[in-house]
Chains A and B, each alone.
Chain A
Amino acid sequence: KAGVTQTPRYLIKTRGQQVTLSCSPISGHRSVSWYQQTPGQGLQFLFEYFSETQRNKGNFPGRFSGRQFSNSRSEMNVSTLELGDSALYLCASSLSPSGNGGELFFGEGSRLTVL
Chain B
Amino acid sequence: TQLLEQSPQFLSIQEGENLTVYCNSSSVFSSLQWYRQEPGEGPVLLVTVVTGGEVKKLKRLTFQFGDARKDSSLHITAAQPGDTGLYLCAGVQPSGSRLTFGEGTQLTVNP
Using CB atoms and an 8 Å cutoff, list the residues of chain A in contact with chain B.
4, 33, 35, 40-43, 45, 48, 55-56, 90, 92, 97-101, 103-104, 106-109
CA A90 to CA B37, docked complex, whole Å:
12
CB <8 Å contact, B98 and A108: no
**A-B contact number at CB 8 A:** 63
Within 8 A of A (CB), among B90-109: 90, 92, 96-104
Q: Chain A interface: which of B41-49, B55-63, B74-82?
A: B41-49
Which residues of chain A come closer than 8 Å to B92, judged between CB atoms? 98-101
Q: Which has the most chain A C-beta neighbours within 10 Å: B48, B97, B98, B101?
A: B98
Using CB atoms and an 8 Å cutoff, list the residues of chain B in contact with chain A.
2, 9, 30-31, 33, 35, 40-45, 48, 50, 88, 90, 92, 96-104
CA A85 to CA B108, docked complex, whole Å:
27
